[in-house]
Structure 1
Amino acid sequence: MDTRQLRYYVALIEAGTYTKAAEQLHISQPSLSATIKKLEESVGLTLINRGSRSLHMTHEGKILYEEARRFLQHFQHVTDEMERLKQQGPLEISIGLIESTIFFVPEILKQFKQEYEEAKVSLMETLSLSDVERALYNFDIHLAITNQNIFQNDIETLPIYEEKLVTLIPSGHRLANKRTIQLHDLENESFIVCKEGFQTRQDILNAFNRAGVQPNIQFEIERFETSCSLVEKGLGITVVPENYVTYSKHTNLVVKSLAEDNISRTVYLAYVNNRYMPPIVKRFIEMIETYFK
């Protein structure tokens, strides 16, 4: 089994037919068929069911396809990285972020640019678990700062800090004059929360569940920016990270602490642990860890 065989196999599966795959690979169809046959012989498994007119993988074939596709992506990433190192050095870093990191990331970036003046930095919002995993596996980002605790063997997830969650209430609302808010106070209020797939949603709903309260969810959003705008318009109440509110430009809303002191979320640093990591990425990670020590 070699890289060429795996590349041909992945191309065949994604093209769907030998004819299309051979055209894309710029080889003859018999040559492609022979390569796939040799791949099957080398692994000692049948990868393609040949009993039907359409192309179908065996169970083993599906496993090999997924692993081969990931391997080839990794191989291409390393090849590109080595070429970049040869041509110009490791001068790029891509980072996935959640909204509330605005309170510290600019400060880290300022320090980082002082050390790596010529480095190009790409910042990308990665909010949901699927966003983070997809961006990491597809090499869109080198690392993510996320509140998603990722349970994948090949992704390292390091907790870096914990942040409190606070309530946002429309100005003039009956609860705006209370010193602190209890979750029971929100039971019948129109509630704004992150949509399914977001860890913050789960953290908030878990807190409601512990308090024996059923929130009246009326709006599901992706970004805290949206929830703040809805609160300002008097459309409901929401719960967001305190660090985000500190730097928010929204002023026509009231921020209240929650009486329940166990409502918080953890923010993590995540990266693929079995992948080549450029020195500037390692240095950026060190800066984050130092900042929170």
Structure 2
Amino acid sequence: MDSKVLKHFLKIVQLGSLTAAADDACLTVQALAAQIKKLEQHMGLRLLNRTNKGVSLTPEGQQMLPDIMAMVRSAEQLQRKVDQLRQHAPTTLHIALNSTFSLEINHCIMNFMMDTLHGYRIVFSSSESPENLTKLANGDADMAVVIGCPTHCG
């Protein structure tokens, strides 16, 4: 069940008008009416009485209203939580290890980096020094392990 449709339903109830609610939601009356029809079909209940004078809740709609309000509130809380988590998502660091080193040495470097940079999401790759320098230059790596300095490192 789409929380936007439930939100639109609540707006219809609040305004007492399908037209006013459609304007508020930037939808056509037909599109909003189709959403409500689909909602009623999904529930197997008629929720709204439609007349020339406006829209009112059926007895079933009145009984469902508190639950629909609770669902919309929960969906809004969930969206706020998602937004909050997205803002605090750890930054990803791409670290290019040197393939010339043994697996044991690279594991030591990886463990050190993960312990030191515990607030970051770390993605490791492994290449030889010239390719690691290219990764740095292209922005494909944030850090790189380079053996020697065959060119000016800057």
Q: TM-score, normalised by structure 2?
A: 0.52
Q: CA deviation at 1:61?
A: 0.6
- CA distance in structure 2 between the aligned counterparts of 1:62 and 1:42, rounded to whole angstroms: 17
Distance 1:34 1:88 in 2: 38
Matched to 1:3, the amino acid is: S
Distance change >3 Å, CA 59–CA 33, structure 1 → 2: same
Identity %: 27
Residue in 1 aligned with 2:66?
66
Aligned 8 A contact 2:12 2:55 in 1: no
Find out whether 1:9 has 2:14 as its counterpart: no
Query: Are the aligned partners of 2:3 and 2:71 in contact in 1 as well (CA < 8 Å)?
Result: no
Task: Name which one, 1 or 2, has greater alpha-carbon Rg.
Answer: 2
Q: Is the 8 A contact 2:22 2:32 kept in 1?
A: yes
Query: Which has more strand, going by share of residues?
Result: 1
Higher helix share: 2
**3-state SS of paired residue (1:49):** strand
In structure 2, distance between residues paired with 1:78 and 1:37: 26
The answer as to whether partners of 1:48 and 1:56 remain within 8 angstroms in 2 is yes
- Partners of 1:87 and 1:40 lie apart in 2 by 37
AA aligned opposite 1:48: L
In structure 1, C-alpha distance between the alignment counterparts of 2:34 and 2:46, rounded to whole Å: 14
Which amino acid letter does the alignment assign opposite residue 85 of structure 1? L
Separation in structure 2 between the aligned mates of residue 59 and residue 18 of structure 1, nearest angstrom = 18
Secondary structure in 2 matching 1:56: strand
AA at the equivalent of 1:83? D
**Which residue in 1 is equivalent to 2:84?**
84
Residue type of the alignment partner of 1:28: T
Residues 15-94 of structure 1: pairs in structure 2 closer than 5 A: 15-51=15-51, 53-88=53-88
Q: CA RMSD in A?
A: 1.8
User: Per the alignment, do residues 29 and 51 of structure 1 end up closer, same or farther by CA in structure 2, a change over 3 Å counting?
Assistant: closer
Residue matched to 2:145: none
Query: What stretches of structure 1 move > 4 A for 4+ residues in a row?
Result: none
The whole-number CA distance in structure 2 between the counterparts of 1:40 and 1:56 is 14
Counterpart residue identity of residue 67, structure 1: D
Work out the CA distance in 2 between the residues paired with 1:21 and 1:4.
13
Q: Secondary structure at the match of 1:27?
A: coil
Q: Which ranges in structure 2 are unaligned for 5 or more consecutive residues? A: 90-154
8 Å contact from structure 1 (residues 9, 65) kept in 2:
no
In 2, the alpha carbon distance for the partners of 1:30 and 1:86 equals: 35
Gaps of 5+ in 1: 90-293
Residues 115-171 of structure 1 show CA distances to partners (whole Å, capped at 9, x for unaligned) of xxxxxxxxxxxxxxxxxxxxxxxxxxxxxxxxxxxxxxxxxxxxxxxxxxxxxxxxx
What's the offset of the Cα at 1:36? 0.8
Task: For residue 52 of structure 1, report the CA deviation from its aligned partner.
Answer: 6.0
Distance 2:70 2:82 in 1: 18
For normalisation by structure 1, the TM-score amounts to 0.28
Counterpart CA distance in 2 for 1:54 and 1:75 is 28
Where relative contact order (Cα < 8 A, 6+ residues apart) is larger, the structure is 1
Q: For 1:41 and 1:29, how far apart are their aligned partners in 2? A: 18
Pairing of 1:94-105 with structure 2 (within 5 A): none
Equivalence map 1:215-230=2 (5 Å)? none
Deviation of residue 76 (structure 1)? 0.9
Q: Within 5 Å, give how 1:39-188 maps onto structure 2.
A: 39-51=39-51, 53-88=53-88
Amino acid aligned to 1:7: K
The 1:19–1:41 alpha-carbon spacing in structure 2 relative to 1, beyond 3 Å, is same
- Deviation, structure 1 residue 23: 0.8
